[in-house]
Amino acid sequence: MNRARQIVACFALLMLWAAPLRAHEGPPFPVLVDEPSAPWSISVWADPDVGLGTFWVQLQPLDGHALPDDTRVSVHVAPADGRVLETHWDSERETWRDGEQFVSEVDFPTREFWLVRVVVESDTADAHVEHVLRVEVTPPGYGAIDLLLYLWPFLALGALWIKAARRHRARVQAENARSTPDTH
């Protein structure tokens, strides 16, 4: 088996081994979108990584008015199997392009499915809204093989380019050797 086939075979085995990991890598994803929950429309975006997960709760008043200053959002999490009691995380309020956004950073100690209860409250608006969501908490990447995983296409292209350049150089040298008259 030639060298290129060995490299392809090794990479294929590595990908088969890494495929079951399926960690979420990339930007946050929506878990609840524009859900009307009087007096707001609620969207929840999540990046639930083992260690530190982040939730963004976006609120837009349905009546077009501004959100009351006393609006509070909290995120409560517990493993879906119920083996540990729910923990509570407060959110920080931020302004975003279309309304208000509340950000919570949550500690997830293990990779598994978690129940996330988002609670929005306001005394001024006389409102209390809860949504229970189920999310899969995953590692923040593939760990030590991330670099290899993302770098391999560039290394493979570089190796192919070097191989093609060497073949081209050898062919040019062979043609030059044939076309050059022997003066001896």
CATH number, domain containing residue 49: 2.60.40.2480
Task: Specify whether 58 is located in the same domain as 123.
Answer: yes
- Which one has a higher pLDDT value, 76 or 154? 76
Q: What is the three-class DSSP state of 27?
A: coil
The percent of residues in the chain predicted with pLDDT above 70, rounded, is 82
CA distance 1 to 4: 8
- The number of residues in the chain equals 184
Domain presence at residue 40: yes
128 sits in which H/E element:
strand 127-137
Mean of per-residue pLDDT scores for the chain: 84
How much is the pLDDT for 163? 94
Structural domain including 77 reads 26-137
pLDDT at position 25 over 60: no
Structure confidence at residue 118 as a pLDDT band (50, 70, 90): very high
Comparing 8-22, 23-37, 81-95, 152-166, the range with the smallest average pLDDT is 8-22
How much is the pLDDT for 87? 95
What is the number of structural domains in the chain? 2
How much is the pLDDT for 85? 93
pLDDT at position 11 over 70: no
How much is the pLDDT for 92? 95
- Which one has a higher pLDDT value, 114 or 12? 114
Domain presence at residue 184: no
Q: Which among 141, 75, 149, 65 has a CA at the least distance from the CA of 107? A: 75
Task: Specify whether 125 is located in the same domain as 166.
Answer: no
Task: Specify whether 81 is located in the same domain as 30.
Answer: yes
How much is the pLDDT for 15? 56
Task: Specify whether 89 is located in the same domain as 124.
Answer: yes
CA angle 127, 71, 125 (to 5 degrees): 35
Domain presence at residue 182: no
Task: Specify whether 161 is located in the same domain as 72.
Answer: no
pTM for this predicted structure: 0.63
User: Which tokens sit at 146?
Assistant: 């991330």
Domain presence at residue 167: yes
Task: Specify whether 15 is located in the same domain as 32.
Answer: no
Q: Tell me how crowded residue 40 is: count the other CB atoms within 10 A of its CB.
A: 24
Domain presence at residue 65: yes
